[in-house]
């Protein structure tokens, strides 16, 4: 630092090298993971740069990409000293001293020689931690397009405010500053520049550390002065794309709502997604055209005729695409289409009604969609296919649920209670679901003692949501939806594993690996519908079930109805069966007739 009392404003008297103790305080807490490029705008003979390299060596070591350090120094004599301090010439001189010691047999070195060998090795390693370039003389006339992660500075006391304001301006698009100032510059903002600096420090929430008599102990030149270490971090600037905004405005004007799309999806989700895709592609194409127009001006050499001379310094590259020759439009379009198809297939508005099995099927096939334009027409074709798949998959989902809820698991004896047997048509192995069932859910609880979570929410969600979706097919939208994920998260956060209230039932979770499902009384008609649907599909109910009245049935058919709906005694099932006939639109209709199509407005 070129420090001074306030009566000295120029000349060699301003040169006050940064004391090691102060440099250490300036660099304390510096995270080198975020620092590669550094500017020292008033380097003197390089004391602060030397401290920076030593700190980097001690915290990071030399086996990582070193620092890229640019320095300015207005004094020609100091500039020459600084240049030498970090030069190859000095490194060679150190090596010449180091080599004879290094060649000596370790046991033959005196303690002094061993210490000197270690010191010289350290000095070479420190120099290897960064490349130092003297890029300019006067900081105030230094103009660069380079971005610095850090400006580390120790400006003249008399012009500290001006130097720091200049540094803030250089870092206006993002970066950090660590600056050593005369404390009076901060404490006594009596000039216009000091007041402006105070405003900037407040704006960027600068951290200020005061040190009394900083130049009175280990300083190369003594001075009775208090200093302030100012730390500023300016967030990276967010740049808006004028091309993107222009394209977006054009689409906002040109795209008219499609009534057909509005009928298909709540909130015009499809139209919005397609418009976003079109804006991105059109904007990117404009960028590519601009790049192609600039390529001749970005050649690696001026005036070269060889094709390698004409290769641009800046390349436009597509991830996973070819970088040889011209820009790979096909690779770009494939990746951007894939991005939008993936987002669509993972959006709950689009696939939320599908069971996890059907969702996995479409997630596995999404890669193929990269070859298809992300358009309203193609999305509608996929929807038609999905609705067809869902229709054919509903029967499987319901039957799988019936089997799951009535399965007997030998390793869980309590699951034997799942089956409620009745004398089926032409078989005595018929069974149905009752008010309660137990299913295995091994893995919902962690076996590790240090895991604090009550149970694994996502794993529980996958099991329960598939059960709910199958019941949704039977319910036809009668029952109000609940946010299952929110319910499970709230239970897990509260340490609750019993009486967790879901849409159609409440559940108890047990660490031994079971889930107890207890249906609400108001959901038992759905359970009955599930029993009827599955039993008919399995051929356990008479062929005339639901087609004729109880009194018109044959005696054998009545016996099955009595066993299915009653206690098996004669006539015990007649009343419940009559209710099925009266509400046949609910109990006997195919679930697909009441199941809303995909993308219907959510309730």
CB neighbours (10 Å) of residue 463?
Answer: 17
Mean pLDDT for the chain? Answer: 84
- 588: which 2 tokens? 């006997």
The DSSP 8-state label assigned to residue 154 in this structure reads: -
Burial tier of 430 (Cβ tally within 10 Å: 0-12, 13-18, 19+)? buried
Tell me: the pLDDT tens digits for 217-250? 766 666 677 899 999 999 987 767 776 777 777 7
Angstrom distance (rounded) from CA 199 to CA 216: 31
Which pTM value belongs to this model? 0.54
Phi, psi of 372 (to 5 degrees): -115, 140
Within the chain, what is the greatest distance between any pair of CA atoms? 120
What's the distance, CA 393 to chain centroid?
34
Q: What share of the chain is helix, strand, coil (3-state, %, to 5)?
A: 50, 10, 35
Q: Which of 321-330, 562-571, 584-593 has the highest mean pLDDT?
A: 562-571
CB of 214 within 8 A of CB of 225?
yes
Buried b / exposed e across 401-421, counting CB within 10 Å, b at 16+?
A: bbebbbeeeeebeebeebbee
| Locus of tokens 């050593």 | 180
Residue 234 vs residues 149, 171, 201, 202, 280: alpha-carbon distances, Å: 10, 7, 11, 12, 29
Distance CA 41, CA 179 (A): 10
Burial class (CB in 10 A: 0-12, 13-18, 19+), 287: middle
Residue 166: count other Cβ atoms within 10 Å of its Cβ.
18
Q: What is the pLDDT of residue 602?
A: 32
**DSSP 8-state assignment for residue 392:** H
Distance, in Å, from the CA atom of 516 to the CA atom of 348, rounded to the nearest integer, reads: 28
The DSSP code for 134 is E
> In DSSP terms, which residues pair with 215 in a beta bridge?
223
- Name the pLDDT band for 516 (thresholds 50, 70, 90): very high
pLDDT digits (tens, 9 = 90+) for 9-67: 344 555 678 888 999 999 999 999 999 999 999 999 999 999 999 999 999 876 667 89
**Region class of 373: left (phi > 0), else alpha (psi between -120 and 50), else beta:** beta
**Does position 264 have pLDDT exceeding 60, yes or no?**
no
Domains of the chain from N-terminus onward? 12-234 (3.40.50.150), 242-346 (no CATH), 401-593 (no CATH)
* HEC sequence for 465-520: HHHHHHHHHHHCCCCCCCCHHHHHHHHHHCCCCCCEECCCEEEEEECCCEEEEEEC
Which residue's structure tokens are 């799309």?
261
Q: Which residues sit opposite 424 in a β-bridge? A: 427
Whether residue 489 has pLDDT greater than 60: yes
Of 36-40, 146-150, 413-417, the poorest mean pLDDT is in: 413-417
Type and span of the H or E element at 556: helix 555-565
Burial of 603 (0-12, 13-18, 19+ CB in 10 A): exposed
Angle ∠(531,587,421) on CA atoms, nearest 5: 20
Nearest to 95 by CA among 124, 126, 119: 124
CB 100 within 8 A of CB 113: no
pLDDT digits (tens, 9 = 90+) for 297-345: 887 777 666 666 677 888 887 766 544 445 677 788 888 888 888 888 7
Say what the pLDDT of residue 253 is: 57
Pure H helices in 28-110: 47-59, 76-85, 88-103
**Gap between the Cα atoms of 472 and 458, Å rounded:** 20
Place of tokens 């008919």: 536
Beta bridge partners of 397: none
User: Which neighbouring-strand residues pair with 431?
Assistant: 421
Q: C-alpha angle 251/253/259, rounded to 5°?
A: 85
Between 29 and 367, the higher pLDDT residue: 29
């Amino acid at each position: 630092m070129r420090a001074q009392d306030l009566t000295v404003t120029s000349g060699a008297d301003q040169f006050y090298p940064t004391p090691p103790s102060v440099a250490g305080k300036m660099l304390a807490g510096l995270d080198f993971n975020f620092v590669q490029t550094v500017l020292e705008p008033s380097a003197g003979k390089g004391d602060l740069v030397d401290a920076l390299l030593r700190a980097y060596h001690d915290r990071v070591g030399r086996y990582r990409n070193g620092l890229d350090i640019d320095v300015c120094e207005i004094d020609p004599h100091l500039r020459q000293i600084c240049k030498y301090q970090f030069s190859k010439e000095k490194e060679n001189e150190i090596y010449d001293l180091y080599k004879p010691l290094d060649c000596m047999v370790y046991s033959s070195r005196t303690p002094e020689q061993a210490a000197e060998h270690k010191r010289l090795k350290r000095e070479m390693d420190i120099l290897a931690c960064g490349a130092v370039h003297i890029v300019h003389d006067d900081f105030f006339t230094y103009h660069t397009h380079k971005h610095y992660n850090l400006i580390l500075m120790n400006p003249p006391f008399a012009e500290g405010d001006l130097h720091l304001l200049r540094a803030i301006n250089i870092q206006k698009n993002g970066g950090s500053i660590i600056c050593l100032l005369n404390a009076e510059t901060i404490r006594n903002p009596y000039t216009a520049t000091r007041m402006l600096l105070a405003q900037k420090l407040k704006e960027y929430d600068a951290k200020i550390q005061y040190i009394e008599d900083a130049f009175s102990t280990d300083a190369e030149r003594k001075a009775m002065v208090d200093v302030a270490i100012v730390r500023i971090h300016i967030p990276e600037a967010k740049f808006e794309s004028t091309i993107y905004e222009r394209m977006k405005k054009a689409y906002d004007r040109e795209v008219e709502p499609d009534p057909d799309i509005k009928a298909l999806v709540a909130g015009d989700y499809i139209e919005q997604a397609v418009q976003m895709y079109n804006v991105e592609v059109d904007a990117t194409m404009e960028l590519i055209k601009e790049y192609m127009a600039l390529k001749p001006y970005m050649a690696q050499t001026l005036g070269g005729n060889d094709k390698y001379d004409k290769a641009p310094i800046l390349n436009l590259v597509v991830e996973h695409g070819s970088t040889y020759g011209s820009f790979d439009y096909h690779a770009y379009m494939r990746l951007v289409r894939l991005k939008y198809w993936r987002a669509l297939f993972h959006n709950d508005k689009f696939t939320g009604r599908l069971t996890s099995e059907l969702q996995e099927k479409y997630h596995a096939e999404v890669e193929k969609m990269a070859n298809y334009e992300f358009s309203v027409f193609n999305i509608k074709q996929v929807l038609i296919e999905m609705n067809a798949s869902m229709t054919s998959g509903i029967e499987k989902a319901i039957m799988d649920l019936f089997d799951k809820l009535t399965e007997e698991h030998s390793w869980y004896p309590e699951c034997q209670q799942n089956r409620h047997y009745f004398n089926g048509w032409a078989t005595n192995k018929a069974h149905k679901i009752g008010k309660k069932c137990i299913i295995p859910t091994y893995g919902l609880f962690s076996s590790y003692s240090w895991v604090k979570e009550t149970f694994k929410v996502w794993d529980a969600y996958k099991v329960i949501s598939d059960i709910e979706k199958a019941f949704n097919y039977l319910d036809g939208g009668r029952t109000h939806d609940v946010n299952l994920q929110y319910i499970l998260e709230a239970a897990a956060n509260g340490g609750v594993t019993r009486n967790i209230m879901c849409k159609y039932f409440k559940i108890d979770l047990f660490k031994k690996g079971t889930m107890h499902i207890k249906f609400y009384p108001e959901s038992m008609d759905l359970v009955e519908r599930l029993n009827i649907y599955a039993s008919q599909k399995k051929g356990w109910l008479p062929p005339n079930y639901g087609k004729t009245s109880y009194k018109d049935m044959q005696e054998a058919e009545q016996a099955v109805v009595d066993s299915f709906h009653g206690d098996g005694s004669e006539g015990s099932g007649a009343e419940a069966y009559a209710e099925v006939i009266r509400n046949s639109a609910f109990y006997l209709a195919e679930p697909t007739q009441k199941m809303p199509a995909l993308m219907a407005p959510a309730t």
